[in-house]
Structure formats: C-alpha cells, structure tokens
C-alpha cells in the first residue's frame, strides 16, 4: 500500500523542498500524509472544476504545480468559494500536495520541460542559485562486515558519482579499544585491550541523504558504539540547481518567426510579443515558466536576445526594450505541461518501487482563466 508520505519522500528526492523560493507555500496542502493512494490526479491548478473532476474519477490524491492554499485562510466559512473547495476536498478524503518553485528549479523539472518543448539546444541554467553540498562518511568495521556495510550504504543512495553508483573506497587497518564495565562488546572482553583487523569504508553522498545514509550505517554496523567521521567536502562537484533555462534554437529564425513557433509549440490561441526588432535573428533564448519578468537582468547576463516568460508587466516590458531585449509572453498557463510530463515520470517511479496499486492520470481540464478573441 502506497501512502502519501511515500510519494512525497520520492518526489522530494527529485525536487527538494530547499529549492523553493522563500515564502512559497509548497508541500502538503490538505489531508493526511498517512492516506493511502490508489488514484492520483496531476493538475496545474486546484480549482473547483478540478475538484469536481477528481470526485467523479474517485481520486484520493492530487499533485498540483500551483499551491491550492497559496494564501492563509482568514476563516473557514464555506460561503467563500475557496473555503468551500477545501471542504469538498476534505469531505471526499482527497489529499493535496503542491510542488511549485522547487519543481521549477529541479533538474529535469518544469523549466527543462519548457525548454524541451521549444527544442532548445545546449541548455543551461539561467540563474544558478544552489549547489547541493556533498558529504563524506568514513566508518570502521571488522573486515568480515565490510561488504555488508558497502551494500547498505549504496542502497541508501551513497556513492553515486555521475553515471556511477555504489562507489566507495576501503582500506585495511587495526582498530584498538578496551571495553569498560557495562559495555556489551561485539568483539573482545571487559577490561581487556583488544586489537581488531578492520576496514575503513568511505562514501560520498548529497547532504539531503545524510539521515538516510547514517540510518543505513547504524542498521548494519556490528559495534555497540560505531566510530565514524562525517564532514562536508569543499570541492565544487555537487549538483547545481537554479531558476530558468537558456539555450540556442534548433534552427535559424527571426524573433517574429520564433514567436509563431512558440505559439504553435504550446498550442496557444495567442501570445504577446515585446520587441523593437522583430526581424532580428534569434541568437540565444531564455525561458522561465510562470511570472518571470523580474529575472530579465539574468537573461541579459546570459547574452540571450529573447526571453520567453509569462505575465510580463507593462513597465517591465519597457525596461526590457530599453535594454535591447525581446520578450515573448505565452502566458502562465504553459506550465500545464506538468500534466503531460509528470504522469509518465511518476509511472516510472511507481514501476521501480513496485507501486502496483497506484494509477496516475492527468486532469483533462484547462484552468487557463484567459480567452483570446479576434
């Protein structure tokens, strides 16, 4: 039986909570993390019509990109449509989890999906903002227990270096200790000095796996009081994360042509183009899902001449033009790509973890509040 907390644990390995912008209300929104998941719905927004869809499809878990509870409720009076929606979710035992800016910054997440949709090449992070710290653990075990220790640490995620897994280093030595009164030594006698042929096992791992790796070490360590060293590494080899992506177009196009290409790529009825040079060739494109206008200085630093982002404000558009930057505003709703991309990703995780009794599906509704008219 898969519980909400099991899904969250797996998802936050992919898009850790610490990647979220300050104040972003990500994470568990409604319901219980102990609830069992049978049918899960992926949506961009949690709106009343989506809740009706979830109820009709007997959904018990909603994964949303935009938080359902974005601002704290001032009361729980159900005359308010938002509160009434929360009540419907709770009444039908539908748990809700949201991944917003942490999914935006995750490698292989929202902004990579958007860049892929625009067929950008040589894609890089637009504005790096976090490098995952690398930890190193060294522990000492009897030589006969070294293989078991290495296997347990690898199973906890330690020892992954690029495309390599279960990487470790071991060397032999002699451990010395004297068990005192009250000790229950695995090897040796009380008040007698002992020398043991030991193996030092060293592994590296991302800092967010620290508790899991230490738990794995303690679970198989034969000693009553395991000796181990744990420290941060200063070498800049940790995985880097950040907001937005930047890359080159697959084929030569003018800015106007690329705007048309963007409209078609996201199947839009219309978009806004901010440019003084529609016939200039596109050299380098930055893309940032959602409301990303404030990041245009980072776009300039990355030497992009086109910025694709939603909700561009009037005065920000003028600032972009003054800086010689063109912008394409396809709207906020292009992030609905989460439905097409997250479902197969979650199905892949389910297969790997033997979640045979969970079905993931995408919402069939559009939650775009805007309609274009001719």
112 known member of a binding site: no
Residue 93 marked in a binding site: no
Tell whether 311 is in a known binding site.
no
State yes or no: 267 annotated in a binding site.
Answer: no
At 229, phi and psi to the nearest 5?
-115, 140
| Helical spans, DSSP H, in the chain | 4-14, 48-56, 81-91, 101-105, 110-117, 146-155, 210-220, 255-265, 296-301, 314-322, 337-352
CA-to-CA distance for 358 and 363, rounded, in angstroms?
16
Q: Phi and psi for 201 in degrees, rounded to 5?
A: -110, 125
Distance of alpha carbon 169 from alpha carbon 150, whole angstroms: 9
CA distances from residue 14 to 103, 191, 343 in whole angstroms, order as listed: 8, 49, 14
- 280 labelled binding-site residue: no
Beta bridge partners, 309, equal 288
Token output for 271: 């978009």
For the record, the structure tokens of 164 come out as 């390599």
Binding residues for a divalent metal cation: 65-66, 104, 332, 335
Please enumerate, by residue number, every residue annotated as part of a binding site: 65-66, 104, 332, 335
């Amino acid at each position: 039986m898969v519980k909400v907390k099991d899904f969250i644990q797996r998802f936050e390995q992919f898009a850790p909570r610490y990647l979220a912008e300050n104040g972003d209300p990500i994470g568990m929104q409604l319901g219980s993390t102990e609830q069992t998941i049978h049918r899960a719905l992926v949506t961009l927004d949690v709106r009343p019509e989506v809740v009706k869809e979830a109820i009709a499809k007997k959904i018990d878990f909603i994964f949303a990109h935009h938080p359902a509870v974005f601002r704290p409720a001032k009361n729980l009076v159900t005359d308010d449509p938002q509160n009434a929606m929360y009540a419907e979710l709770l009444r039908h035992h539908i748990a809700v989890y949201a991944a917003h800016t942490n999914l935006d910054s995750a490698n292989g997440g929202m902004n990579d999906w958007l860049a892929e949709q625009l067929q950008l090449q040589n894609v890089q992070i637009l504005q790096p903002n976090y490098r995952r710290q690398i930890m190193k653990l060294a522990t000492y075990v009897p030589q006969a227990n070294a293989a078991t220790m290495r296997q347990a640490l690898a199973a906890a995620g330690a020892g992954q270096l690029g495309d390599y897994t279960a990487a470790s280093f071991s060397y032999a030595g002699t451990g010395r200790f004297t068990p005192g009164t009250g000790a229950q030594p695995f090897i040796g006698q009380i008040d007698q000095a002992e020398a043991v042929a030991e193996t030092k096992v060293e592994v590296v791992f991302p800092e967010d796996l620290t508790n899991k790796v230490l738990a794995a070490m303690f679970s198989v360590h034969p000693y009553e009081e395991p000796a181990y060293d744990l420290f941060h590494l200063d070498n800049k080899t940790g995985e880097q994360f950040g907001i937005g992506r930047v890359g080159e177009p697959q084929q030569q196009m003018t800015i106007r042509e690329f705007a048309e290409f963007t409209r078609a790529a996201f199947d839009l009825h219309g978009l806004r183009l901010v440019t003084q040079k529609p016939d200039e060739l596109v050299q380098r494109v930055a893309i940032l899902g959602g409301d990303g206008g404030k990041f245009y200085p980072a776009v300039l630093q990355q030497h992009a001449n086109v910025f694709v982002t939603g909700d561009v404000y009037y005065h920000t558009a003028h600032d972009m033009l003054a800086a010689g930057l063109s912008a394409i505003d396809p709207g906020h709703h292009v992030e609905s790509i989460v439905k097409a991309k997250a479902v197969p990703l979650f199905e892949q995780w389910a297969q790997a973890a033997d979640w045979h009794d969970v079905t993931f599906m995408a919402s069939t509704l559009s939650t775009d509040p805007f309609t274009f008219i001719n």
